[in-house]
């Protein structure tokens, strides 16, 4: 009997040994996210795939080695040496892959772009550093379809135009704003840059320190609240893991360009800290166009344990940009870059000082439930002057964004994952306006632009105008809150369905501390917009792990901003009418609805990547302006106010392709990658879209069925990146922008007709960069580069002021623009 028991025991031991398994988990090397669906290929035949958590197991007796692969990642070969060990396999991204979404909120388990049922564009350091990396607009317009980034000055007054949405109402001339960014939400390291009332200022952002950009195009109200045009996520560079480094970069270029960046970084397995200081200046491309900026950035990440991680960001900026007046059509045609002399006379400028702080905490309650909460605050102070006078503005914004990420495995091959959260923000602000007058120390009479620029301080003369009397003083606070939830049902065969809804509100409390209250215009006014409900629904199908097709619908709103409500009617002498005013109580939020279909692909073993999208967006209640003329002078505007105007319909086609022709660690050329993209816009004002320059018929502009101003019909870009084994690298890009509608040429004789609709001519830009990058021993990294932009000396513009003729153009450099630099880094 005991022999039988011994035999059974030996048999069980053998069986137990034979069934011993090797366990592992496959994750993304960059962010440690699990990779679901990775392929485990055995040396002979057969294999398996990772589950929803990236885990897998293999039979040790049958398998001695295997290869792990996943679309968009380098394959990794594993040899089993210890069957009792549980391995964590980190896969590195392959060059040319369709990038993994790292910042933009998504409810899908698989964060690869193939699995996102919408158009999300991403830029890494490769695209951001093709140019000088200081202004961002070149990277946006070369690489992201459907998005234009304008610059009001050399390095300030930036705006995004996403799929043709042109901000809010300027207030006096037409349907689009030329002085601020509205309609989209901008985040920096998870901290809203967009203030609580929906206005975005870019002057204080250090674009040279940005390492990642993501743009969600079209109405994004479900996850981002009042984001009728879309959402933009910026992320600064971080300290590399396992290294302690110090670095210094110096860049010099045409038009007096100087940039100095000093960086110190400490990277550990569970913590990292980076601090940098940047000093940047340029003389500008035209009259009165210089810029000077100082930036400090502090980024720290900590991982106390497996369940928690902490992010901290603090940034300070001091920015000063001179403003050139817009060039008229005549000045543009005659290459006269002096602009409007009234800007120079008033020393037009934008001075912005900010301090921004945010702390984010992520806690993983279980493998299926986690929370990320970020609290933030921004102090903002600016003084701005232009042809219209001087404005001081001081604001404090603070709030939080908290998101729960959940995941449930329902049964084999089916899972449900979602985001549920809240974002709330408050702004307390005071804005004071002043008129300006000639300086009492100025002995010149009606000085010319040349005199002001050349002789600003000569012989003790101070020709710039000075602040005169206050004209307005408004204290206000804005409060906005968004609640949202979005879920993705992942089904077998890589089919997924996404649905979500967000609801947002906006509360504005205005206190006029300058004008005396009247029965029609109180000195305090409160307005609330609520129940702005923004749903989204989408379906996505991935075919053979490398091609996806999707269809989606999304909706979002944009509420009026504080400056739209108080209407002041000035006093007139003929007929004698005292000053009065009223409150603009009837304004409604703008509404955007978008339908989109598209496909994305990663073909030829990851070498060929493409994205194609077609969209139809309808904007309702678009805000526009009515100007009221003086009874005694029909050519003089007394005041203006904002109303909800007509509708716009935007149809667009976007396509991009990247091809990795060469990728090797052994050949002379280690990387050769051409790329191209195309945007075709058919954006129209709907029938009945009329802008009233005044209350009389002669001031009417009928935009019915015309192309939306400020957006070119077609945009195309091509380029190529080349890297060699010795360390030489380079790129060449070619940008084409089609002719662009500007607006109507003013007339006082009759109602203006489409025959007066004016277009800016098309232009092409050719840019190139070459550099040498090499490691010297274990400690020194050197990067030396030189670049030429606008090689052919094309006349082009940085920005068009839509619907503001005859003033329109902000010019770019007239000649080829050169720069070069050295970046030296020491690793301890």
Last residue of a domain, one of 27, 61, 91: 91
Judgement on whether residues 164 and 85 belong to the same structural domain of the protein = no
537 assigned to some structural domain: no
For the chain, how many structural domains are there in total? 2
Residue count (the chain): 828
Query: What residue has token string 């904007």?
Result: 619
Does residue 105 fall inside a structural domain? no
Residue 80 and residue 143 share a domain: no
Q: Are residues 244 and 280 in the same domain?
A: yes
Same domain, 66 and 121: no
Which tokens go with 367? 């493998």
Tell me the C-alpha distance between 130 and 191, whole Å: 26
168 in the same domain as 87? no
Residue 409: CB partners within 8 Å, gap ≥ 6?
Answer: 52, 368, 415
Does 104 reside within a domain? no
Query: Same domain for 81 and 137?
Result: no
Residues 189 and 55 in one domain: no
pLDDT tens digit string along 501-533? 999 999 999 999 998 888 888 899 999 999 999
Ramachandran angles phi, psi of 801, nearest 5°: -85, 100
Return d(Cα 540, Cα 497) in angstroms, integer.
Answer: 6
| The two structure tokens encoding residue 510 | 């205005």
Counting residues of the chain whose pLDDT is more than 70, the rounded percentage is: 86
792-814 pLDDT, tens digit per residue, is 999 999 998 887 777 889 999 98
Has residue 732 got a pLDDT over 60? yes
Residue 535 in domain: no
Q: Do 435 and 583 fall into the same domain?
A: yes
Which domain CATH number covers 56? Answer: 2.60.40.1120
Using pLDDT thresholds of 50, 70 and 90, give the confidence band for residue 31.
Answer: low
The more confident residue out of 47 and 499 is 499
Q: Are residues 687 and 652 in the same domain?
A: yes
Are the C-beta atoms of residues 252 and 820 closer than 8 Å to each other? yes
Cα separation, 726 vs 456, whole angstroms: 51
Give me the pLDDT at residue 508, please. 96
Same domain, residue pair 17 and 117: no
The answer to whether residues 216 and 85 belong to one domain is no
CATH number of the domain bearing residue 363: 2.40.170.20
In a domain, 540, yes or no: no
| pLDDT tens for each residue of 812-824 | 998 999 999 999 9
In tens, the pLDDT along 161-182 reads 999 997 655 433 444 455 678 9
Does the pLDDT of residue 103 top 80, yes or no?
no
Q: Is the pLDDT of residue 10 over 70?
A: no
Q: Does residue 538 lie in a domain region?
A: no
**204 located within any domain:** yes
- The model's pLDDT over 238-283, given as tens digits with 9 standing for 90+, comes to 998 889 999 999 999 999 999 999 999 999 988 999 999 999 999 9
Instruction: Tell me the pLDDT tens digit for each residue of 749-791.
Output: 544 454 578 899 999 999 999 999 998 888 999 999 999 999 9
Please state, rounded to an integer, the average pLDDT across all residues of the chain. Answer: 87
Write out the DSSP string of 353-404.
EEEEEEEEEEEESSSSEEEEEEEEEEEEEEEEEETTEEEEEEEEEEEEEEEE
Q: What is the DSSP string of 655-711?
A: EEEEE--EE-SSSSEEEEEEEEEEEEEEEEEPTT-EEESSSSGGGEEE-TTPBPTT-
Least confident of 152-156, 232-236, 783-787: 152-156
Residue by residue, DSSP assigns 188-211 as ETTEE-S-TTSEE--TT--GGGEE
Say whether both 199 and 87 belong to one domain: no
Domain that holds residue 59: 2-91
Considering the domain boundaries, does residue 174 fall inside one?
yes
- Report residue 514 as tokens: 């300058």
Separation between Cα atoms, residue 25 and residue 21, nearest integer Å? 13
**Which among 584, 535, 583, 585 has a CA at the least distance from the CA of 557?**
535
């Amino acid at each position: 009997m005991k022999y039988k028991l011994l035999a059974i025991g030996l048999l069980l031991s053998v069986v137990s040994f034979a069934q011993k398994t090797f366990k592992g988990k496959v994750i993304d090397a960059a962010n440690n996210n699990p990779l679901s669906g990775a392929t485990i290929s055995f040396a002979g035949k057969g294999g398996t795939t990772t589950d929803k958590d990236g885990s897998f197991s293999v039979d040790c007796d049958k398998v001695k080695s295997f290869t792990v692969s996943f679309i968009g990642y380098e394959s990794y070969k594993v040899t089993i040496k210890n069957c009792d060990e549980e391995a964590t396999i980190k896969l590195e991204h392959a060059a040319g892959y369709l990038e993994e979404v790292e910042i933009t909120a998504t409810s899908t388990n698989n964060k690869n772009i193939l699995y996102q049922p919408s158009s999300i564009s991403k830029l890494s350091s490769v695209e951001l550093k093709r140019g000088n990396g200081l202004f961002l607009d070149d990277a946006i317009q070369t690489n992201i379809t459907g998005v234009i980034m304008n610059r009001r000055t050399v390095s300030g007054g930036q705006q995004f135009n996403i799929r043709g949405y042109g901000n809010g109402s300027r207030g006096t001339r037409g349907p689009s704003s030329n002085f601020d960014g509205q309609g989209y939400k901008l985040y920096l390291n998870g901290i809203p840059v967009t203030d609580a009332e929906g206005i975005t200022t870019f002057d204080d952002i250090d674009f040279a320190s940005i390492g990642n950009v993501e743009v969600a195009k079209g109405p994004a109200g479900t996850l981002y609240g009042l984001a009728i045009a879309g959402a933009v996520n910026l992320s600064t560079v971080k300290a590399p893991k396992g290294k302690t480094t110090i670095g210094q970069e110096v860049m010099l270029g045409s038009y007096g360009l100087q940039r100095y960046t000093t960086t110190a970084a400490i990277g550990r397995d569970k913590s990292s800290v980076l601090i940098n200081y940047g000093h940047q200046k340029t003389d500008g491309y035209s009259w009165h166009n210089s810029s000077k900026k100082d930036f400090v950035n502090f980024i720290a990440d900590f991982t106390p344990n497996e369940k928690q991680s902490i992010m901290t960001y603090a940034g300070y900026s001091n920015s000063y940009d001179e403003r050139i007046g817009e060039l008229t059509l005549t000045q543009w045609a005659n290459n006269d870059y002096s602009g409007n002399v009234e800007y120079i006379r008033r020393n037009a400028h934008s001075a912005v000082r900010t301090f921004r702080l945010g702390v984010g905490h992520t806690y993983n309650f279980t493998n299926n439930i986690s929370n990320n909460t970020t609290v933030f605050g921004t102090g903002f102070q600016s003084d701005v002057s232009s042809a219209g006078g001087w404005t001081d503005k001081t604001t404090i914004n603070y709030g939080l964004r908290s998101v729960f990420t959940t995941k449930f495995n329902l049964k084999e091959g089916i899972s449900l994952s979602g985001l549920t959260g809240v974002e709330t923000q408050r702004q307390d602000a005071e804005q004071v306006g002043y008129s300006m007058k000639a300086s009492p120390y100025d002995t010149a009479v009606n000085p010319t632009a040349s005199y002001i620029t050349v002789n600003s301080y000569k012989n003790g003369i101070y020709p710039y105008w000075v602040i005169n009397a206050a004209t307005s003083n408004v204290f206000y606070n804005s409060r906005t809150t968004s609640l949202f939830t979005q879920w993705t049902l992942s089904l077998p065969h890589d089919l997924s369905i996404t649905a979500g809804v967000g609801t947002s509100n906006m509360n504005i409390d205005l206190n006029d501390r300058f004008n005396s209250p009247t029965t029609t215009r109180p000195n305090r006014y409160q307005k609330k917009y609520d129940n702005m409900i923004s749903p989204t629904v989408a379906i996505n199908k991935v075919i053979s792990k490398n091609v996806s097709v999707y269809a989606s619908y999304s909706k979002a709103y944009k509420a009026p901003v504080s400056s739209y409500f108080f209407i002041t009617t000035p006093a007139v002498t003929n007929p004698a009418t005292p000053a009065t005013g009223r409150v603009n109580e009837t304004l409604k939020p703008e509404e955007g609805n978008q339908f989109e279909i598209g496909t994305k692909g990663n073909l030829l073993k990851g070498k060929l990547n493409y994205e194609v999208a077609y969209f139809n967006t309808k904007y309702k209640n678009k805000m526009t302006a009515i100007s009221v003329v003086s009874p005694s002078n029909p050519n003089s505007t007394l005041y203006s106010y904002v109303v909800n105007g007509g509708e716009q319909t935007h149809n667009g086609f976007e396509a991009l392709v990247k091809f990795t022709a060469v990728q090797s660690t052994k050949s002379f050329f280690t990387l050769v990658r051409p790329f191209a993209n195309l945007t075709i816009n058919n954006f129209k004002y709907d029938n009945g879209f009329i802008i009233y320059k005044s209350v009389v018929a002669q001031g009417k502009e009928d935009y019915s069925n015309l192309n939306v101003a400020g957006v070119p019909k077609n945009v195309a870009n091509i380029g190529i990146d080349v890297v060699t084994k010795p360390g030489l690298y380079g790129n060449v890009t070619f940008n084409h922008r089609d002719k662009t509608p500007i607006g109507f040429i003013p007339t006082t004789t009759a109602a203006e007709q489409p025959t007066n609709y004016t277009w800016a001519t098309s232009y092409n830009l050719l840019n190139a960069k070459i550099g040498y990058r090499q490691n010297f021993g274990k400690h020194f990294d050197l990067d030396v580069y030189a670049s030429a932009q606008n090689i052919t000396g094309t006349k082009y513009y940085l920005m068009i002021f839509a619907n503001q003729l005859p003033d329109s153009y902000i010019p770019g450099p007239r000649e080829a623009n050169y720069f070069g630099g050295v970046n030296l880094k020491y690793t301890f």
